[in-house]
Amino acid sequence: MKRSTRKLSLYGMLLALSIVLGYVESMIPIPLGIPGVKLGIPNIVTVIALYSIGALPAFLITLLRILLISASFGNGVTFLYSLSGFLLSFSGMLFLKKIGGFSRVSVSIAGGVLHNIGQIFSAVLLLRSSALFSYLPVLLLAGVLSGGVIGLLAGLVTERLGKNLLDK
């Protein structure tokens, strides 16, 4: 198989996997009392892609996932929240990965925390209510926990798949 065809197939599989994980995640209730809180399961694909195929493909795959999931299961507001969280999260993860010295788990934790910060700021701006900042402590803890688990899972998956599937 030609290298370009192989890459396109891999990107398509990662996008499809992230969409399926997003759908599965939407069926898992999170009893934190904060609307819209999710585990971030599709971000396993984002972290795998960032470390295995590079920043640009990881960015595009995740952006497409957000667009497709929002169009299929959400609305404009969920799109804005997801997009703002993603942009801040991905920027932070990319920065930490580029400067080095941080493990995949640490980078993923930063991504989880920054994602929640981005979403809270967009909600505060959209709803014009600074009272939403009161959710931040719970969301920061959730970001640390889910980011840690996502980083661990992404590392395990990458080890199992190895260079055969995920080479650049």
**CA max distance for the chain:** 55
> Crossing angle of helices 104-127/136-166, nearest 10°?
130
Fold of 3-166: Arp2/3 complex 21 kDa subunit ARPC3 (1.10.1760)
> Which helix or strand (DSSP H or E) is residue 24 part of?
helix 3-26
Q: Report yes or no: 70 and 19 within 8 Å, Cβ to Cβ.
A: no
Q: Indicate whether 71 pLDDT > 80.
A: yes
State mean pLDDT over 89-110.
97
What is the C-alpha to C-alpha distance for residues 101 and 107, in angstroms, rounded to an integer?
10
How high is the pLDDT of residue 36?
A: 67
The sign one gets for the Cα dihedral 132, 134, 138, 144 is positive
State mean pLDDT over 49-68.
96
Sequence-ordered list of residues with C-beta below 8 angstroms from that of 132, at least 6 positions apart, any chain? 120, 123, 124
First to last CA, the chain: 15
The SS3 call for residue 2 is: coil
How high is the pLDDT of residue 37?
A: 75
State mean pLDDT over 35-55.
91
Amino acid at 76: G
For the chain, give every domain's residue range: 3-166
How high is the pLDDT of residue 94?
A: 98
